[in-house]
Amino acid sequence: MAAAAEPGARAWMGGGSPRPGSPVCSPVLGAGGRARPGPGPPGPGPGPGPGRAGDRVPGPPVPGHSFRKVTLTKPTFCHLCSDFIWGLAGFLCDVCNFMSHEKCLRHVKTACACVAPSLVRVPVAHCFGPRGLYKRKFCAVCRKGLEAPALRCEVCELHIHADCVPFACSDCRQCHQDGHHDHDTYHHHWREGNLPLGARCEVCRKTCGSSDVLAGVRCGWCGIQAHSLCSSVLAPECTFGQLRSMVLPPGCVRLLSRNFSKMHCFRIAETAALELGDRDDGVDGSAASGPGRDAPATPESSKQTLEIFDGNDTVRRNRFRLVTVPRLASSEEVLEAALRVYYVSEDPGDFELQELPLPSLAAVAQTPGKAGSGGLAEEDSTRGSGSHEPEAWVIRARPRAQEVLKIYPGWLKVGVAYVSIRVTSQSTVRTVVLEVLPLLGRQAEDPENFQLMEVLMGSRQVQRMVLADEELLLERLWDIRQTSLRQASRTRFYVVESRAVAPRVSLFVGGLPPGLSPRAYGDLLHEAMATKAAVVSVSHVYSQGAVVLDVTCFAEAERLYMLGRDTAVHGQPLTTLVLPDVLHTKLPPDCCPLLVFVNPKSGGLKGRDLLCSFRKLLNPHQVFDLTNGGPLPGFHLFAQVPCFRVLVCGGDGTVGWVLTALEETRHRLTCQEPSVAILPLGTGNDLGRVLRWGAGYSGEDPLSMLVSVDEADAVLVDRWTILLDAHKATGTGNNAVDTEPPKIVQMSNYCGIGIDAELSLDFHQAREEEPGKFTSRFHNKGVYVRVGLQKISHSRGLHKEIRLQVEQREVELPSIEGLIFINIPSWGSGADLWGSDSDSRFEKPRMDDGLLEVVGVTGVVHMGQVQGGLRSGIRIAQGSYFRVTLLKATPVQVDGEPWVQAPGHMIISVAGPKVHMLRKAKQKPRKAAATRGHTAPAPEGSTN
């Protein structure tokens, strides 16, 4: 952030008056603050002095707040201690609405929203999801309750009003190395407020949560919670807490993303960006009253409402803030109010208000179509020509002969957070670099190896730009302020080494025709997207129809990514994903990261909430949305990880999908036999029942689910291969037969032929036609019942339409309507189809014995009796090799995925290696008893 030049501005910002060129430390930049005259402690606190990053400022600073004494008219709570404020007076910050007891003022450590961006250690943009209702949550900028639909970061759980987004800090979790700020140790990532009511402080063990105010802090990595005061005594380094062995350490992930947004990096759908309808640094809403503030009603006769713009950008797009001030207010008071609604914390004496229309901007503001989304053209229709139109003003910075500029050392290993130097009208980028290097202890190095980088810390994207050596910095600062004062307050300058970062971006491209050669895939992509062979190469090929491209040009990677999302090959839309690199050699010895796959379509929309929860509890790079590329991107990312586990969140079909992908990519994995756990979200969830994960997810704490995975026991489960060799008559007179290409599917649970597959197929088709109605497990089972009742009198005579061979032996089938091959002791949502009675003809079934049990059912009534526990199926055979001949087209389902199979042969045989599954431990997990208050976000927080 560019600091003001005048001594007065530096004093109230808490920067003191450093002599030109003196190094200044800034972990508490802006620790001083303005306080209005009146009772209470003095305003400015002592500013930071020379020292190393991490030193604390002695004394009781008030970090940037503008407190004034107010008369309370309703029950109010202190934002520091969260206790009730007794009496009629409290102290309120005019900028961020921080309310405090008088006795608590001297203990306030939480920075005001106007200076909070300057305290950010490493700027990281947020990933805001779609708007939702978040009851009993508070905005992190204006500290007011989220009554209307608001936004939530998908990675760090920052809650915020939509019109406060432009004023939010870019302080999301740093989840990977990006070549700009790379660290081997990670500090706690504190997020203030919105803690559960039962949250306990890690230090004093007292309650630190509150449903009344934004109070208390929680680390986004390890999950420990504390009072804001108590957190200062904790060690700054974070150990990633209870889930440390399951978290993919951010220092072991590298992604040179450049201008890819964090939504792209974490494979999150950009629905929020479309809703905001604005660019990253834009203000949402052209008639907002201020960030998170109540819209002013019709002003009293003693007050007036003004439209305030903060620069040319907001004038051009007609994005203003409304300010209500007394009609007799002085120009200085109006200016202070205008600066407050834009969270500008510099000295008001350095600014002035100019009334619109300005000669230089009137034409721009009145040109149709030049306003932003919802801009001037739309606003004109609501203003009318009456005399009640508010006055419009622009905040302008006064010209300055010199400024004190903060220069940050980037990734240079130095002992200060930044140094302050003076720049004048003659100061160029090169002269500033020459002046800064000795202050950073780099005077012996060649200045030509360093350059100055400008960083705009937007809330949804951090943009970096290298400045030209001959550029005049004072003019650059003036241009930024003229464009937007808010943009100027979020702009930093870094001196960085001119090291040539070799651009390398891995793009996963799915949706291609399967089974092609690398050269054929390269030619196909060149034809579809005009790839440049000089910078694009195919590094990995997957037979399922996916490739990974190595792109050595950032611009080409961005072009291919955006183009791929709108491209189809052979009628199939492509999927493009940006994948990071896992630095497997840097993984700790005891680290066994968890690869999470979530199907958001499963479980009545609970998968969407689990995606958010797991992104916040773990590293979002290890959480994959199966509707966006399937399981292959996840296995590719973890290919070199020596030890990892897998968690599949979905139904039986989803589990089978992931296990099939694992089987096909096993030869590429360093860890060829990862153990797989299940969080059941589907309707049947038979494999989840057998492995003790329950009948279905019903809103349990996601943290406890992860702890259970950590404590689970490994078991083996057979995998079966089904070869489908179909043939059909061509319809010609010579009875010629047209053979379809053989198809292979994998099975873990069961394979059904006949009536049960027909019911599953009807349910699947009904869900495909109206997916919005299938939002609960109870409703889904009701549809199954209704479909079954419609077929209760159905008679097909399946035993006449198929032939069965077991171990090369022909088996005569009884009169049945359904034939089912079962591998696990659960079918049809928990029914025991085989039964528990002993039978000397067969061995006792196990899911790892290399044998399948063959059972028949006589119809829908028989199936209902089995599911009710009244009967068992008809035991037919047991073996390891089966050949089924279908004499006519017949419904078939494998692990809940149904289709109609053409006449032909089905060969079922045991697959290669058994799959390692995780079975939930019977006893209460030991780690759950030792939990330290790490409470996960409620999985359905957007709708409760």
* Cβ pair 893, 760 in contact under 8 A: yes
Chain centroid to CA 243: 18
Ordered alpha helix ranges (H), 50-130? none
pLDDT given for residue 398 in this prediction = 92
Q: What is the mean pLDDT of residues 932-936?
A: 44
Q: What are phi and psi of 205, to 5 degrees?
A: 65, 15
Question: Which of 19-33, 745-759, 850-864, 920-934 is predicted least confidently?
Answer: 19-33
Maximum Cα–Cα distance across the chain: 104
* pLDDT over threshold 70, residue 804: yes
Gap between the Cα atoms of 600 and 621, Å rounded: 17
Beta strand 623-625 with 594-598 is: parallel
Question: Tens of pLDDT along 704-731?
Answer: 999 999 999 999 999 999 999 876 544 4
Tokens 């080409």 correspond to 556
Band of residue 653 on the pLDDT scale cut at 50, 70, 90: confident
pLDDT given for residue 23 in this prediction = 33
Question: Tens of pLDDT along 591-606?
Answer: 999 999 999 887 666 7
pLDDT given for residue 52 in this prediction = 31
pLDDT given for residue 20 in this prediction = 33
Band of residue 743 on the pLDDT scale cut at 50, 70, 90: confident
Beta strand 897-901 with 890-894 is: antiparallel
In angstroms, the Cα distances linking 449 to 176, 452, 499, 917 are 26, 11, 7, 53
pLDDT given for residue 707 in this prediction = 93
What H or E segment, with its residue span, contains residue 714? strand 713-717
Strand order in the sheet with 852-857: 874-879, 852-857, 818-822, 750-754, 890-894, 897-901
- Structure letter (DSSP) for residue 449: G
* pLDDT over threshold 90, residue 696: no
* pLDDT over threshold 50, residue 38: no
Query: Which is more confident, 625 or 739?
Result: 625
* pLDDT over threshold 70, residue 879: yes
Band of residue 570 on the pLDDT scale cut at 50, 70, 90: confident
pLDDT given for residue 485 in this prediction = 92
Question: Tens of pLDDT along 54-78?
Answer: 333 333 455 788 898 998 888 899 9
Question: Tens of pLDDT along 674-686?
Answer: 999 999 987 778 8
Band of residue 129 on the pLDDT scale cut at 50, 70, 90: confident
Q: What is the mean pLDDT of residues 342-367?
A: 73
Question: Which of 417-426, 840-849, 860-869, 889-898 is predicted least confidently?
Answer: 860-869
pLDDT given for residue 280 in this prediction = 43
- Residue among 637, 660, 659, 639 at smallest CA distance from 647: 659
Q: Percentage of residues in the chain with pLDDT exceeding 70?
A: 78
pLDDT given for residue 785 in this prediction = 64
In angstroms, the Cα distances linking 285 to 24, 126, 147, 160 are 39, 20, 17, 15
* pLDDT over threshold 60, residue 385: no
Gap between the Cα atoms of 919 and 367, Å rounded: 66
* pLDDT over threshold 70, residue 925: no
pLDDT given for residue 931 in this prediction = 44
Residues 6+ apart with CB under 8 A from 836: none
Q: List, as own/partner pairs, every contact residues 809-817 make where C-beta atoms lie below 8 angstroms and the sequence separation is at least 24, other chains included.
A: 811/854, 811/876, 811/877, 813/856, 813/876, 814/856, 814/874, 814/876, 815/858, 816/754, 816/856, 816/857, 816/858, 816/874, 817/754, 817/755, 817/857, 817/858, 817/859, 817/862
pLDDT given for residue 46 in this prediction = 32
pLDDT given for residue 835 in this prediction = 85
Query: Which is more confident, 128 or 278?
Result: 128
* pLDDT over threshold 90, residue 884: yes
- Residue among 709, 713, 743 at smallest CA distance from 725: 743
* pLDDT over threshold 90, residue 442: no
The listed range with the strongest mean pLDDT (114-128, 518-532, 620-634, 929-943) is 620-634
* pLDDT over threshold 80, residue 239: yes
pLDDT given for residue 709 in this prediction = 94
Q: What is the mean pLDDT of residues 244-262?
A: 87
